[in-house]
Copies of this chain bind each other. A is one copy, B any other.
Amino acid sequence: MTRREIKVYQNLMGENEKWAAKTRSVLAEMGITMLNIIGSPGSGKTAFLEKLAKEIAAEIPFAVLEGDIATTRDAERLTEKGIPTSQLLTNGACHLEAKLVHTALLDLPLDTLRLVIVENVGNLVCPAEFDIGEHAKIAALSVTEGEEKPVKYPLLFTEAQAVFITKVDLLPHLQFDIETCIQAIKQINPTVPVLQVSPLTHQGMDECVSWITDFVIHE
Protein backbone atom coordinates (compact mmCIF):
# COMPACT_ATOMS: atom_id res chain seq x y z
CA MET A 1 0.00 0.00 0.00
CA THR A 2 2.72 2.40 1.01
CA ARG A 3 4.76 1.52 -2.07
CA ARG A 4 1.84 2.20 -4.37
CA GLU A 5 1.33 5.66 -2.80
CA ILE A 6 4.97 6.56 -3.35
CA LYS A 7 4.77 5.47 -6.99
CA VAL A 8 1.85 7.76 -7.69
CA TYR A 9 3.60 10.80 -6.25
CA GLN A 10 6.62 10.07 -8.44
CA ASN A 11 4.40 9.85 -11.51
CA LEU A 12 2.70 13.15 -10.74
CA MET A 13 6.01 14.91 -10.17
CA GLY A 14 7.44 13.44 -13.36
CA GLU A 15 4.44 14.74 -15.29
CA ASN A 16 5.04 18.24 -13.93
CA GLU A 17 8.74 18.10 -14.77
CA LYS A 18 7.91 17.04 -18.32
CA TRP A 19 5.77 20.14 -18.90
CA ALA A 20 8.36 22.37 -17.21
CA ALA A 21 10.99 21.03 -19.62
CA LYS A 22 8.70 21.78 -22.59
CA THR A 23 8.30 25.33 -21.33
CA ARG A 24 12.07 25.71 -21.02
CA SER A 25 12.45 24.59 -24.65
CA VAL A 26 9.91 27.14 -25.89
CA LEU A 27 11.52 29.92 -23.84
CA ALA A 28 15.01 29.05 -25.14
CA GLU A 29 13.78 28.95 -28.73
CA MET A 30 12.03 32.32 -28.47
CA GLY A 31 14.73 34.03 -26.37
CA ILE A 32 12.33 34.75 -23.54
CA THR A 33 13.14 34.87 -19.83
CA MET A 34 10.54 33.63 -17.33
CA LEU A 35 10.36 34.74 -13.70
CA ASN A 36 8.13 33.15 -11.04
CA ILE A 37 7.07 35.56 -8.26
CA ILE A 38 5.99 33.80 -5.08
CA GLY A 39 4.69 35.26 -1.82
CA SER A 40 1.83 35.25 0.68
CA PRO A 41 -1.62 36.61 -0.16
CA GLY A 42 -1.36 40.39 0.07
CA SER A 43 2.44 40.55 -0.12
CA GLY A 44 2.10 43.15 -2.88
CA LYS A 45 2.96 41.05 -5.94
CA THR A 46 0.31 42.56 -8.23
CA ALA A 47 0.99 46.13 -7.04
CA PHE A 48 4.66 45.60 -7.88
CA LEU A 49 3.82 44.37 -11.39
CA GLU A 50 1.47 47.31 -11.97
CA LYS A 51 4.34 49.66 -11.17
CA LEU A 52 6.83 47.61 -13.18
CA ALA A 53 4.69 48.09 -16.29
CA LYS A 54 5.48 51.82 -16.34
CA GLU A 55 9.16 51.22 -15.66
CA ILE A 56 10.28 48.58 -18.14
CA ALA A 57 7.50 47.78 -20.60
CA ALA A 58 9.02 50.09 -23.25
CA GLU A 59 12.50 48.62 -22.88
CA ILE A 60 11.68 44.98 -22.10
CA PRO A 61 8.31 43.94 -23.52
CA PHE A 62 6.73 41.58 -21.02
CA ALA A 63 3.55 39.64 -20.34
CA VAL A 64 2.13 38.29 -17.11
CA LEU A 65 0.60 34.92 -16.31
CA GLU A 66 -1.55 35.60 -13.29
CA GLY A 67 -2.15 32.62 -11.00
CA ASP A 68 -5.17 32.64 -8.72
CA ILE A 69 -7.54 30.20 -7.11
CA ALA A 70 -10.60 32.19 -8.12
CA THR A 71 -11.60 35.50 -9.80
CA THR A 72 -9.93 37.43 -12.63
CA ARG A 73 -9.34 40.59 -10.57
CA ASP A 74 -5.54 40.64 -10.73
CA ALA A 75 -5.47 40.05 -14.48
CA GLU A 76 -7.95 42.92 -14.90
CA ARG A 77 -5.72 45.22 -12.82
CA LEU A 78 -2.69 44.45 -15.00
CA THR A 79 -4.57 44.60 -18.30
CA GLU A 80 -5.67 48.12 -17.33
CA LYS A 81 -1.97 49.02 -17.15
CA GLY A 82 -1.49 47.80 -20.71
CA ILE A 83 0.35 44.57 -19.85
CA PRO A 84 -0.70 41.49 -21.85
CA THR A 85 -2.02 39.28 -19.07
CA SER A 86 -3.70 35.89 -18.92
CA GLN A 87 -5.47 34.63 -15.85
CA LEU A 88 -4.59 31.10 -14.74
CA LEU A 89 -7.28 29.78 -12.41
CA THR A 90 -6.37 26.75 -10.33
CA ASN A 91 -9.97 26.25 -9.15
CA GLY A 92 -8.96 25.48 -5.60
CA ALA A 93 -5.38 24.27 -5.95
CA CYS A 94 -2.80 26.10 -3.89
CA HIS A 95 -0.08 26.47 -6.54
CA LEU A 96 0.49 26.60 -10.30
CA GLU A 97 1.52 23.44 -12.11
CA ALA A 98 3.71 23.37 -15.18
CA LYS A 99 1.09 22.10 -17.64
CA LEU A 100 -1.31 25.00 -17.05
CA VAL A 101 1.55 27.49 -17.32
CA HIS A 102 2.74 25.85 -20.54
CA THR A 103 -0.70 25.97 -22.15
CA ALA A 104 -1.14 29.65 -21.26
CA LEU A 105 2.40 30.49 -22.38
CA LEU A 106 1.74 29.17 -25.91
CA ASP A 107 -1.26 31.49 -26.24
CA LEU A 108 0.84 34.61 -25.54
CA PRO A 109 2.20 36.70 -28.46
CA LEU A 110 5.64 35.19 -27.86
CA ASP A 111 7.40 36.81 -30.82
CA THR A 112 6.73 40.24 -29.31
CA LEU A 113 8.02 39.38 -25.81
CA ARG A 114 11.37 39.35 -24.01
CA LEU A 115 10.06 38.46 -20.54
CA VAL A 116 7.17 36.53 -19.02
CA ILE A 117 6.45 37.02 -15.34
CA VAL A 118 4.34 34.42 -13.59
CA GLU A 119 2.58 35.67 -10.48
CA ASN A 120 1.96 32.48 -8.55
CA VAL A 121 -0.99 31.78 -6.23
CA GLY A 122 -0.65 33.72 -2.97
CA ASN A 123 1.02 31.13 -0.77
CA LEU A 124 4.45 31.10 0.88
CA VAL A 125 4.66 27.31 0.85
CA CYS A 126 3.39 25.13 -1.99
CA PRO A 127 4.28 27.17 -5.12
CA ALA A 128 7.98 26.83 -4.23
CA GLU A 129 7.70 23.05 -4.58
CA PHE A 130 6.63 23.08 -8.24
CA ASP A 131 9.01 23.73 -11.11
CA ILE A 132 7.07 25.56 -13.83
CA GLY A 133 10.04 25.97 -16.18
CA GLU A 134 11.04 29.41 -14.88
CA HIS A 135 14.59 30.79 -15.00
CA ALA A 136 14.33 32.19 -11.47
CA LYS A 137 11.99 32.42 -8.52
CA ILE A 138 11.60 35.78 -6.78
CA ALA A 139 10.34 35.70 -3.20
CA ALA A 140 8.07 38.61 -2.18
CA LEU A 141 7.88 39.16 1.59
CA SER A 142 5.88 42.02 3.06
CA VAL A 143 7.15 43.88 6.13
CA THR A 144 3.74 43.27 7.70
CA GLU A 145 4.42 39.52 7.82
CA GLY A 146 7.18 39.58 10.43
CA GLU A 147 10.96 39.29 10.38
CA GLU A 148 11.16 35.58 11.12
CA LYS A 149 9.16 34.26 8.16
CA PRO A 150 12.21 33.16 6.10
CA VAL A 151 13.26 30.65 8.77
CA LYS A 152 9.68 29.52 9.33
CA TYR A 153 9.06 28.96 5.60
CA PRO A 154 12.56 28.08 4.40
CA LEU A 155 12.00 26.35 1.04
CA LEU A 156 11.02 29.43 -0.95
CA PHE A 157 13.92 31.43 0.47
CA THR A 158 16.34 28.61 -0.33
CA GLU A 159 15.14 28.49 -3.93
CA ALA A 160 14.78 32.23 -4.59
CA GLN A 161 17.34 34.03 -6.74
CA ALA A 162 16.17 37.37 -5.31
CA VAL A 163 14.08 38.45 -2.33
CA PHE A 164 11.97 41.59 -2.56
CA ILE A 165 10.98 42.94 0.87
CA THR A 166 7.76 44.81 0.03
CA LYS A 167 5.61 47.55 1.58
CA VAL A 168 8.63 49.21 3.23
CA ASP A 169 6.63 52.46 3.31
CA LEU A 170 4.80 50.92 6.29
CA LEU A 171 7.98 50.44 8.37
CA PRO A 172 7.41 53.55 10.55
CA HIS A 173 4.09 52.06 11.70
CA LEU A 174 5.32 48.54 12.48
CA GLN A 175 7.42 46.74 15.04
CA PHE A 176 9.56 45.25 12.29
CA ASP A 177 13.34 45.33 12.26
CA ILE A 178 14.53 45.08 8.68
CA GLU A 179 18.08 44.05 9.65
CA THR A 180 16.71 41.10 11.62
CA CYS A 181 14.68 40.08 8.57
CA ILE A 182 17.69 40.33 6.25
CA GLN A 183 19.71 38.21 8.70
CA ALA A 184 16.92 35.61 8.68
CA ILE A 185 17.00 35.53 4.86
CA LYS A 186 20.83 35.25 4.82
CA GLN A 187 20.65 32.43 7.36
CA ILE A 188 18.64 30.44 4.80
CA ASN A 189 20.34 31.72 1.63
CA PRO A 190 23.60 33.59 2.35
CA THR A 191 24.23 34.96 -1.14
CA VAL A 192 20.73 35.92 -2.32
CA PRO A 193 20.24 39.60 -3.21
CA VAL A 194 17.71 41.27 -0.88
CA LEU A 195 15.95 44.38 -2.22
CA GLN A 196 13.61 46.69 -0.31
CA VAL A 197 10.71 48.14 -2.25
CA SER A 198 7.48 50.10 -2.00
CA PRO A 199 5.57 50.39 -5.28
CA LEU A 200 3.39 52.99 -3.53
CA THR A 201 6.20 55.48 -2.80
CA HIS A 202 8.52 54.23 -5.57
CA GLN A 203 11.22 53.56 -2.94
CA GLY A 204 13.51 50.81 -4.21
CA MET A 205 11.72 50.39 -7.54
CA ASP A 206 14.84 51.43 -9.48
CA GLU A 207 16.92 48.72 -7.80
CA CYS A 208 14.28 46.06 -8.52
CA VAL A 209 14.01 47.18 -12.15
CA SER A 210 17.82 47.00 -12.43
CA TRP A 211 17.90 43.51 -10.95
CA ILE A 212 15.21 42.27 -13.36
CA THR A 213 16.78 44.02 -16.37
CA ASP A 214 20.23 42.60 -15.59
CA PHE A 215 18.79 39.15 -15.10
CA VAL A 216 16.94 39.26 -18.44
CA ILE A 217 20.01 40.55 -20.29
CA HIS A 218 22.37 37.95 -18.83
CA GLU A 219 19.99 34.99 -19.04
Q: Does the CB pair A151–B70 fall under 8 Å?
A: yes
Residues of B close to A144: CB separation below 8 A: 42, 142, 144, 167, 170
Please report the total number of A residues contacting B with Cβ < 8 Å.
38
Residues of B close to A153: CB separation below 8 A: 41, 69-70, 122
A5 at the interface (CB under 8 A from B): yes
Residues of B close to A154: CB separation below 8 A: 69-70
Residue of B with least CB distance to A200: B175
A8 at the interface (CB under 8 A from B): yes
Known interface pairs A5-B8, A5-B11, A41-B145; A125-B155 also in contact (CB < 8 Å) = no
Q: Does the CB pair B149–A41 fall under 8 Å?
A: yes
Residues of B close to A5: CB separation below 8 A: 8, 11-12
How many angstroms between the C-alpha atoms of A219 and B199 in the bound complex? 46
A94 at the interface (CB under 8 A from B): yes
Enumerate 27 A-B pairs (CB-CB under 8 Å) in ascending A order. A5-B8, A5-B11, A5-B12, A8-B8, A40-B40, A40-B124, A41-B124, A42-B144, A69-B125, A69-B152, A70-B153, A70-B154, A71-B151, A71-B152, A73-B148, A73-B151, A94-B123, A94-B125, A94-B126, A122-B149, A122-B153, A123-B124, A123-B125, A126-B126, A142-B144, A144-B144, A170-B174
